[in-house]
């Protein structure tokens, strides 16, 4: 299959793993990269053998079919809309956008232009969550009745070189880490129906302790501890806590409880296991992984979009899924503000499970 030429916009902290994906997945050919800070684009271009260009040059390059948007959340919509306007498909880092309005604009513009929208996270395409999906589909835990999804830490200002965006709209634990947890739940159980929550800002100001901005203060503009309940269309009730306010905890990351057993789901911010199952009269048992891609395979979603472009099939990390996840995240903030359940506007199809027995570097045979 002819590789799809990709242009990267945003050459910061996370970009390296995507450039590596360009070497792993045979369908991807990263030919150019851009950043507001040209030196960053030049450094990545030199390291990974592509061209450093301006954002405008990248958008005008007729060879490029997919724009891989790795900018900060507040710039996701602007860059995505530019790419769509230029007639290119776009895959955003998460979140899709920082509001429903922006998300809708992206999907509508892409529909009008006949191009595709994709969005991280793609970790649910890894061996760990794909194994969980297969176990659910094969009946190992019966009908899912409930789930838990817990991500509690103390934020990112101790390690990220430029952490301000984590405390602005599009950041906070729900928009930053929530996409991994919520997308994994949707990938396993299908779409959600309604959301309730309580949310707070515990520390209105944060101090950066990483370099090079050590000592710089950040004003916190988004909730940093959110406890929510999400009702899924299949009837399962998920309890979710996403927090940047907690120093330590002993909670699992994700568990799914069914009528005939329980499942311990691996870290949805990773690609591997372990996956564990407990049946009514048995012990917790680690299950073998049924799929490949257990190592860090960020970029697998872009590769899936590239296959979609070549074959016409739907890609898994699609805009409809990302918009539904965005809708749930917005509702997790709004329910607390409004003191009531929020009925979701959107829905989506559960993404199709990956085939088993794939060869490394390929997604379709």
Ligand X SMILES: NC(=O)c1ccc[n+]([C@@H]2O[C@H](COP(=O)([O-])OP(=O)(O)OC[C@H]3O[C@@H](n4cnc5c(N)ncnc54)[C@H](O)[C@@H]3O)[C@@H](O)[C@H]2O)c1
Interface positions with ligand X (CB under 6 A): 9-15, 35-37, 40, 55, 70-73, 75, 78-79, 93-94, 162, 176
Q: Tell me how far, at minimum, the Cβ of 208 lies from ligand X, in Å.
A: 13
Q: Tell me how far, at minimum, the Cβ of 74 lies from ligand X, in Å.
A: 8
Contact present, 299 and 15 (Cβ < 8 Å): no
- Which residue's CB comes closest to ligand X? 12
Count Cα neighbours of 59 within 13 Å in the Cβ-side half-sphere. Answer: 15
Q: Tell me how far, at minimum, the Cβ of 260 lies from ligand X, in Å.
A: 35
Distances, alpha carbon 140 to alpha carbons 115, 136, 268, 290, in Å? 39, 6, 20, 14
- For ligand X, the closer of residues 171 and 351 by Cβ is 171
Q: Tell me how far, at minimum, the Cβ of 35 lies from ligand X, in Å.
A: 5
Count Cα neighbours of 81 within 13 Å in the Cβ-side half-sphere. Answer: 14
- For ligand X, the closer of residues 55 and 329 by Cβ is 55
Tokens of 293: 């891609």
- For ligand X, the closer of residues 159 and 284 by Cβ is 159
- For ligand X, the closer of residues 175 and 307 by Cβ is 175
Distances, alpha carbon 289 to alpha carbons 127, 140, 222, 253, in Å? 6, 14, 37, 18
User: Apex CA 197: angle with CA 73 and CA 320, to 5°?
Assistant: 45
Q: Is 341 exposed, middle or buried (0-12, 13-18, 19+ CB in 10 A)?
A: middle
Pairing of the two strands 285-287 and 66-69? unpaired
Q: Tell me how far, at minimum, the Cβ of 102 lies from ligand X, in Å.
A: 13
Tokens of 212: 């090079």
Q: Tell me how far, at minimum, the Cβ of 347 lies from ligand X, in Å.
A: 24
Q: In what helix (H) or strand (E) does residue 137 lie, and over which residues does it extend?
A: helix 127-137
- For ligand X, the closer of residues 70 and 83 by Cβ is 70
- For ligand X, the closer of residues 93 and 102 by Cβ is 93
Distances, alpha carbon 7 to alpha carbons 40, 88, 209, 242, 315, in Å? 14, 10, 33, 33, 19
- For ligand X, the closer of residues 91 and 134 by Cβ is 91
- For ligand X, the closer of residues 184 and 263 by Cβ is 184
- For ligand X, the closer of residues 82 and 316 by Cβ is 82
| Cα–Cα distance, 156 to 146 (Å, whole number) | 30
Q: Tell me how far, at minimum, the Cβ of 164 lies from ligand X, in Å.
A: 9
Edge-to-edge strand order for the sheet containing 51-52?
51-52, 28-34, 4-9, 66-69, 89-92, 117-119
Radius of gyration of the chain (CA): 20
Q: Tell me how far, at minimum, the Cβ of 170 lies from ligand X, in Å.
A: 8
| Cα–Cα distance, 24 to 302 (Å, whole number) | 12
Q: Tell me how far, at minimum, the Cβ of 176 lies from ligand X, in Å.
A: 6
């Amino acid at each position: 299959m002819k590789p799809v030429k990709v242009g990267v916009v945003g050459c910061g902290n996370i970009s390296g793993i995507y450039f590596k994906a360009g070497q792993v997945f045979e369908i991807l050919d990263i030919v150019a990269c851009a950043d507001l800070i040209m030196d960053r684009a030049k450094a990545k271009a030199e390291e990974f053998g592509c061209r450093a260009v301006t954002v405008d040059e990248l958008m005008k390059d007729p060879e490029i079919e997919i724009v891989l948007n790795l900018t900060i959340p507040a710039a996701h919509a602007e860059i995505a809309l530019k790419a769509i306007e230029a007639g290119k498909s776009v895959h955003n880092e998460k979140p899709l956008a920082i509001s429903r309005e922006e998300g809708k604009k992206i999907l509508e513009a892409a529909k009008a232009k006949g191009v595709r929208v994709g969005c991280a996270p793609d970790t649910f395409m890894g061996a760990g969550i794909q194994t969980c999906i297969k176990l659910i589909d094969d009946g190992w835990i019966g009908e899912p009745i409930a789930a838990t999804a817990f991500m509690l830490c103390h934020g990112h200002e101790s390690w990220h070189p430029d952490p301000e965006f984590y405390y602005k709209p599009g950041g906070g634990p729900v928009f930053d880490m929530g996409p991994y947890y919520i997308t994994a739940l949707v990938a396993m159980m299908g779409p959600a129906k309604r959301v309730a929550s309580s949310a707070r800002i515990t520390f209105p100001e944060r101090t950066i302790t990483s370099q090079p901005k050590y000592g710089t203060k950040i004003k916190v503009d988004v909730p940093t501890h959110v406890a929510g309940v999400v009702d899924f269309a299949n009837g399962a009730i998920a309890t979710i806590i996403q927090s940047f306010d907690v120093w330590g905890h002993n909670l699992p990351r994700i568990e799914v409880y069914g009528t005939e057993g329980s499942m311990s789901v691996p870290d949805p911010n990773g690609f591997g296991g372990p996956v564990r199952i407990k049946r009514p009269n048995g012990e917790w048992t680690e299950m073998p992984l049924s799929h490949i891609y257990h190592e860090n395979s960020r970029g697998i979603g872009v590769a899936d979009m590239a296959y979609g472009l070549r074959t016409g099939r739907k890609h898994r990390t699609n805009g409809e899924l990302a918009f539904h996840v965005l809708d749930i995240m917005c509702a997790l903030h709004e329910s607390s503000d409004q003191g009531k359940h929020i009925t979701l506007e959107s829905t989506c199809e559960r993404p199709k499970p990956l085939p088993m027995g794939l060869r490394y570097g390929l997604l379709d045979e």
